[in-house]
Amino acid sequence: MQFFGHIIDGEEVPSVDGATFEVWNPWTQEVWATAAEGGPEDAALAVASSRRAFDEGPWPRMGRAARAAAIHRLADLMEERADDLATLDTTNMAKPFAQAQHDVARSIWNFRFFADHQRDHCGEVFPMDSGHHSYSEYGPAGVVAAISPWNFPLMMATWKIAPAIAWGNTCIIKPSEDTPASVTLLGRLAIEAGFPPGVLNVLNGHGSPAGSSLTADDRVDRVTFTGSSTTGKTVMASASSHLAPVSLELGGKGANIVFEDADLDNAVHWAVEAIFRNSGQICLAGSRLFVASSVYDEFMDRFVAAAEALTIGDPFDPKTRFSSLASKKHFEKVSSYVDGVGLDGGKILTGGVDDEGRWLIRPTIVTDLPLTASAYCDEIFGPVCVVNRFESEEEVVSLANDTRYGLNAMLFTENLSRAHRVASQLRAGTVWVNCFFIRDLRTPFGGVGDSGVGREGGNFSREFFTEPKAVVMQIQR
């Protein structure tokens, strides 16, 4: 059986008290590995190591090109081990292998992008009439605690680690207890790449005490978290005790709007991707679908047929497009929402809870739910799409914005003016027009309302992971 330790100070180590936890394969419903169960003592050791690496080590002091080269070395090693990384994510959370490979490629790109972004960036110069000259300098902030979720185990972790270390910080990552494997392999590769001890530490264990010990530690200078809105509030409260700035990427209940002039083939394709990719375990999921009345019947016939055509099965089978949920606990949560649909007066057009004992919810499409039903309002984080029809642009904008979340939205139309008009009225951090899931890493990423605090990506990550400084020089006497 495999074992995933902590990576602390350049070594893979067990917990101080030897505690471990079981790591499950949700497709086979078997324990396939164990991992070190981090406690307060392990967290303190990880923070001390990263603190030392920041205060005394070479990483924040080395030239930008040298740091970029070190990060590219790690990315090279990830490329060599890409299939191993993808295998760990697929084993750990039943993500179809091709999707896991896609996530690994994006994870590698996260490192390459931020390595080059910090190497090539320019500060600002402010010529002053007084005979002075000011410029800005972006220095590293210090020790970063990063807490990542189980739905994109490697990808979400690297989205935080890459900008943090590229800007000269040191970082401790706490992966979800459900998915410790790929991030631990990443930590091993960082040692192989020659990273100085403490630049990237991996602390395995549960949200509490491992994660909560990190966020509460006053030697930590930044906290970046992706997960549920409820835990996000706990994380923010904890970090506020020592005034560490936080970046929170939380849940969503994305609106997907199909106007009557949409290219329906394209809209159906993306509607399926938006709610059934990764078994719907995506904060960006298009979980509330609004379809114009005049094309409703035609769209729904095609959407239901496309959902039913998804090949369900073993995530390692190349034909599989859809598989189990990531854990028994999560399966029970999503099942309770599906069970509640009928009680709330909704109709399941296709899908439902698997009847073969797997932790699987079939691609599920629901109509006729009242707008107050919990399956309509809450983030289910599973393959459950709630569909409504609409009559006018004004009505659908109001429906789309009637949520406490605001991470993303999608709209499908061939009318350019309407695309611009509606995109600017939607209350969301990202709006996709005629597409979904396409990202440019330079753009802001994050949400409003219960979907988060702050933005990451490109210069937005620079703002969070650095301490900007103004230098004022007298140049004329």
Q: Which residues bind ligand NDP (CB under 6 A)?
A: 147-151, 174, 176-178, 206-208, 211-212, 215, 226-228, 231, 234-235, 249-251, 283, 333, 379, 381
Task: For ligand NDP, give the closer residue by CB, 215 or 323.
Answer: 215
Least distance in angstroms from the C-beta of 119 to ligand NDP: 29
Kindly calculate the radius of gyration of the chain based on its CA atoms and give it in whole angstroms.
23
249 is catalytic: yes
Q: Cβ 69 to ligand NDP, closest distance in Å?
A: 31
Rounded to the nearest 10 degrees, the angle between the axes of helix 82-93 and helix 153-166 is: 130
Task: Give 236 or 349: the residue with its C-beta nearer to ligand NDP.
Answer: 236
Smallest distance, ligand NDP to C-beta of residue 225, A: 6
Judge residue 80's burial from the number of C-beta atoms within 10 Å of its C-beta, 0-12 exposed, 13-18 middle, 19 or more buried: exposed
Of the candidates 210, 242, 77, the one whose C-alpha atom is nearest the C-alpha of residue 146 is: 210
Distance CA 412, CA 80 (A): 39
Cα-to-chain-centroid distance, residue 34: 24
Structure tokens at 180: 């410790």
Least separation in angstroms between CB 231 and ligand NDP: 3
Q: Give min distance, CB of 157 to ligand NDP, in A.
A: 10
CA 149, distance to chain mean position in Å, is 7
CA dihedral of residues 150, 151, 157, 158 (deg, nearest 10)? 150
Catalytic residue among 283, 377, 379, 456: 283
Tokens of 370: 């009242």
Q: Which is nearer to ligand NDP, 45 or 214 (CB)?
A: 214
92 versus 118: smaller Cβ distance to ligand NDP: 92
**Which residue sits closest to ligand NDP, CB atoms considered?**
207
Looking from the CA of 240 toward its CB, the CA atoms found within 13 Å total 6
Q: What is the 3-state composition of the chain as percent helix, strand, coil, each rounded to the nearest 5? A: 45, 25, 35
Q: Are 166 and 68 in contact (CB under 8 A)?
A: yes
Q: How far is the CB of 283 from ligand NDP (least distance, A)?
A: 3
DSSP 335: H
d(CA 245, CA 334): 33
Options 37, 177, 249, 273, the catalytic residue: 249
Q: Of 398, 449, 420, give the one whose Cα is nearest residue 255.
A: 398
Sole residue written with tokens 């969503």: 252
How far is it, in rounded angstroms, from Cα 74 to Cα 72?
5
Token pair of 199, please? 């630049």
| Least spacing, CB of residue 432 vs ligand NDP, in Å | 17
Q: CB under 8 Å, gap of 24 or more: what pairs does 367-373 form?
A: 369/341, 369/344, 369/345, 370/344, 370/345, 370/346, 371/399, 371/402, 373/340, 373/341, 373/344, 373/345, 373/346
Is the Cβ of residue 114 or residue 405 nearer to ligand NDP in the bound state?
A: 405
Which one, 150 or 376, has the nearer CB to ligand NDP? 150
Give the nearer residue to ligand NDP in terms of CB position, either 102 or 119: 102
What are the Cα distances from residue 67, in Å, to 37, 58, 62, 171, 189? Answer: 31, 10, 6, 14, 16
CB 409 within 8 A of CB 257: yes
Shortest Å, Cβ 70 to ligand NDP = 26
463 among known catalytic residues: no
Provide the 3-class DSSP secondary structure of residue 474.
strand
Residues assigned a catalytic role: 249, 283
